[in-house]
Structure 1
Amino acid sequence: MGWFLGREQGGKVFLLSAVSNGSNVILDYFFIRQWGWESAGAGAATALSQYLMLLIGLLLVAWEKPFPQIKILAGRILNREALKASFLLNTNILIRTFALISTFALFTNLSSAFGIMVLTTNTLLMQAVTLSVYFLDGLAFATESLAGSYKGEGSKQQLIRLVKLSGSLSLGMGLGLAIIFVLIPGFVFGLLTNHSDVISGIDHYVFWLLPVLGLGSIAFMLDGYFLGLTEGRILRDCALIATLVGCIAMAINAWQFHSSHLLWLALSLFMGTRVLTLGLKVPLTWDKLSVSREPEIGK
């Protein structure tokens, strides 16, 4: 998927996603509902759907690059400098992802400590966040692909326009989805549960989706932007700052005061800190691009 995203072939990425998710759903139905394999069936369905996606992806690559060409290029794969850069980038992304997962795990664990009703309410609200992220990730993937292309072209103006356009679209989508959840929570969350007391509890917290999704939409877009530029260190450092400074301090207060509202504030601050720290780095990428192009301009 990264290969196709880097080549701006979004249609193939969509096909692979459809194959993976569609086959996962179908296999889940047969393995779990029809054959009663329970959790083992869920694991088998996920694994098989991933291998099916891999097979289709390899066929698409082979269709684009005939085997003789792949064989010729195979010797260039073990390029020491390229592998070193790749592993460094992946290490930074791993640390960044660990920081994100730790933040959401902390949110869930503290929610469980506040009681089953708070845990249930917050879990349903996080389902809304997860659903929204699927939409926002589409823009983030597009931003990632275009940012890499514009960096390769050395086009500073295109990068500036990309950030403005992607930021506007992401913010509009994030706030739009949040407003839907806020205006009709009974209908939306009624699709996920039939417990009226849980839906009533959601009414007290659903407004927190506005800052979480509003700020989160920009944060996810900026993630895609810096991934496209292969700026793994920036992603790593900003994620760690957001977790350690933006979230944990308020999460401790939420724990002390036994307040779910403070817990949502901690998540909002986490998103806001990511936007602030990543946003401050954006102009530096433009300056860096200008400097890297100066020798060529001088020629």
Structure 2
Amino acid sequence: MNDAPASPVAAGEAPAPLTHRRVLAIAVPIMLSNATTPLLGAVDTGVIGQLGAAAPIGAVGMGAVILSFIYWTMGFLRMGTSGLVAQARGRGDSAECAALLLRGMLIAGASGLIFILLQAPLFWAAFELSPASAEVEDMARDYLSLRIWGGPFAISVYALTGWLIAMERTRGVLILQIAMNGLNIALDLLFVLGFGWGVEGVAAATLISEVGGAALGLWMCRDAFAGDGWRDPARIFDRVRLINMAKVNGDILIRSCLLQFGFGFFLFRSADWGDVSLAANQVLMQFLAISAYALDGFAFAAEALVGQFFGARRPDLLRRASRLTSAWGLACVATLGAGFWLLGGAIIDLMTTAPEVRAAAREYLPWAALAPVVGLPAFMLDGIFIGATRTRDMRNAMLWSLALYLAAWAALVPLFGLHGLWAALMCFFVLRAITLGLRYPALVRAAA
């Protein structure tokens, strides 16, 4: 389970070679790990679908979406942990690496307990925003009332994953995801089809897999507890370090909320042209999701390597890490874009059988094929800036990008209709790259 990562790059020491092989050793396991994520959702739906009724399927889907959104707000913990630990590792500060993991686990535990205590108002607000039939809501509440107890463990996995990525142990991340999802699927089959527990069976399966995943993740990170850093209260609760961690995570949260608003705005505005256009764009957004899953590997590699060299004060290696990870990212998106262009029609046909939706999706398919290439610079710069924990720059860049994206939407849609909406989304990608790119020289200078 231990990945034998490259050694820390402390200032003045000879660094481990930064090669293409090292980049791929970080990136490929993440890409494979991401590929397991949609499989779990499909199995959950397929297993509960064997009950022969629509309400349980809707209840599981609604409950999963509600909890995914609640836990998503804590996603900053993965990114913040990754950047801060990578920098501590670059400085050769193993005690701080351990302390950061414990801080992350404490934040995860406290957040999960808060969600458990606030479950009643949270679920009420969710059902007010997205009402369903009384039968579906009752089943969804049963699902949520079980799964919410996994909150501290599910959020802990964010911190554990960020730590493993920073330590270049992404094979561990892959094993963790396979183990969690595999256990979840096995228990789904046992509890739902074997014991007949229905919706509660799916919830119990996920809860147990989250607890098991957190336990396995802790075991994978066990060498963090070999020293004294994790049991040094003065270090763990150091005011300056806590404030810095809060600033980093707060900036990432704001940036992520703005980014999600930008994508949500695109989808909601698609409805202005009717249900067919909305459905077509929803299908095409899956192409963007596939691209993001693939690019995560290289963006995470940038986080780990840039963070490490930023901490080691090696701007030369930081620039090389940025170039190498981005070059592999470009190869990835070029392949994906060509694949979407050539095979996009067949993929669309697999996703929908509605002739009018197929026709509309084909009309706008060139935009979806172009999106990965256009979005690459922004995606890779995100990883670079997270690694360097230049999160204030990320937050400010996203504010400017979103404002200008909305201005582009207002200008282009009256002229070009739905094509204008897609063009505005491409502008959003480009603007994110420009606003971050302008701050990249300052990032390199800070590393020196």
Q: Distance in 2 between matches of 1:70 and 1:289?
A: 25
- Aligned partner of 1:2 in structure 2 is 162
Q: Distance in 2 between matches of 1:154 and 1:43?
A: 47
Q: Distance in 1 between matches of 2:435 and 2:193?
A: 46
- Aligned partner of 2:129 in structure 1 is none
- Aligned partner of 2:172 in structure 1 is 12
Give yes or no for the alignment of 1:266 onto 2:418: no
Kindly tell me: are residues 164 and 110 of structure 1, through their superposed partners in 2, closer, same or farther at Cα, counting changes over 3 Å?
same
Q: 1:198 aligns with which of 357, 367, 379?
A: 357
Q: Distance in 1 between matches of 2:409 and 2:202?
A: 33
Q: 1:80 aligns with which of 218, 226, 239?
A: 239
AA in 2 matched with 1:211: L
Q: Distance in 1 between matches of 2:163 and 2:224?
A: 13
- Aligned partner of 1:136 in structure 2 is 295
For 1:191, what is the secondary structure of its paired residue?
helix
Q: Distance in 1 between matches of 2:400 and 2:225?
A: 46
AA in 2 matched with 1:263: L
For 2:363, what is the secondary structure of its paired residue?
coil
Alignment of 1:113-128 (within 5 A): 113-128=272-287
- Aligned partner of 1:294 in structure 2 is none
Q: Give the alignment's TM-score, normalised by structure 1.
A: 0.86
- Aligned partner of 2:381 in structure 1 is 222
Percent sequence identity is: 31
Q: Distance in 1 between matches of 2:210 and 2:399?
A: 30
For 1:203, what is the secondary structure of its paired residue?
helix
Give yes or no for the alignment of 1:173 onto 2:332: yes
Give yes or no for the alignment of 1:52 onto 2:212: yes
Q: Distance in 2 between matches of 1:42 and 1:259?
A: 43
Q: Distance in 2 between matches of 1:168 and 1:79?
A: 39
Kindly tell me: are residues 219 and 195 of structure 1, through their superposed partners in 2, closer, same or farther at Cα, counting changes over 3 Å?
same
Measured after TM superposition, the shift of residue 22 of structure 1 is: 3.8
The answer (yes or no) to whether the contact 2:311–2:447 under 8 Å persists in 1 is no
Q: Distance in 1 between matches of 2:231 and 2:308?
A: 25
Q: Distance in 2 between matches of 1:26 and 1:134?
A: 24
Kindly tell me: are residues 58 and 75 of structure 1, through their superposed partners in 2, closer, same or farther at Cα, counting changes over 3 Å?
farther
- Aligned partner of 2:400 in structure 1 is 241
The answer (yes or no) to whether the contact 1:215–1:275 under 8 Å persists in 2 is no
For 1:8, what is the secondary structure of its paired residue?
coil
Measured after TM superposition, the shift of residue 54 of structure 1 is: 1.4
5+ residue gaps, structure 2:
1-160
Q: Could you report, residue by residue, the CA deviation over 1:218-238 in whole angstroms, capped at 9, with x for unpaired residues? A: 211111111010111011111
For 2:351, what is the secondary structure of its paired residue?
coil
5+ residue gaps, structure 1:
291-299
The answer (yes or no) to whether the contact 1:114–1:258 under 8 Å persists in 2 is no
Q: Distance in 2 between matches of 1:71 and 1:165?
A: 34
Q: Could you report, residue by residue, the CA deviation over 1:96-148 in whole angstroms, capped at 9, with x for unpaired residues? A: 00111101111111112321110111001101111111110011111100011
State the superposition RMSD in angstroms: 2.5
For 1:122, what is the secondary structure of its paired residue?
helix
AA in 1 matched with 2:166: G
Q: Distance in 1 between matches of 2:204 and 2:421?
A: 36
Measured after TM superposition, the shift of residue 48 of structure 1 is: 4.4
Q: Give the alignment's TM-score, normalised by structure 2.
A: 0.59
Q: 1:277 aligns with which of 395, 417, 435?
A: 435
The answer (yes or no) to whether the contact 2:230–2:236 under 8 Å persists in 1 is no
Q: Could you report, residue by residue, the CA deviation over 1:21-75 in whole angstroms, capped at 9, with x for unpaired residues? A: 444555566667775745x76665555443332121112223x245784764455
